Amino acid sequence: MNEKKNEQKPEWPREVWIRQTYKAIAAELGDAYNEDDDDAVLFAMGESWAPKEINSWEELKIPDGWELKDQDDKDDYDAYLESK
């Protein structure tokens, strides 16, 4: 049973990926944003990925308008925040 617990714990240091949110990109596009054509925003989200090396969830600082890209990282980070 302990082995299963250890498998779920992230190894540190580790690299997580963040990306700009859909809302933030749409805001940056301003007048150029077309609600009927989301392709430009989705493409920009795909191009906005950035790696962050962290030693713990505690030190992770996500800038406004950015989010964790990976759902597993989101779940782990949310669990960390709830445990505080």
Share of the chain above pLDDT 70, in %: 87
Give whole-number Cα distances, 62 to 15, 67, 76, 81, in Å. 13, 7, 14, 13
pLDDT average, residue stretch 4-18: 75
| 33 band by pLDDT with thresholds 50, 70 and 90 | confident
Residue type, 30: G
Omega before 13 within 30 of 0, i.e. cis:
yes
Name the 3-class secondary structure at 16. strand
pLDDT above 60: residue 3:
no
| 1 band by pLDDT with thresholds 50, 70 and 90 | very low
Q: Which residues pair with 22 in a beta bridge?
A: none
What tokens does 9 get?
A: 């714990």
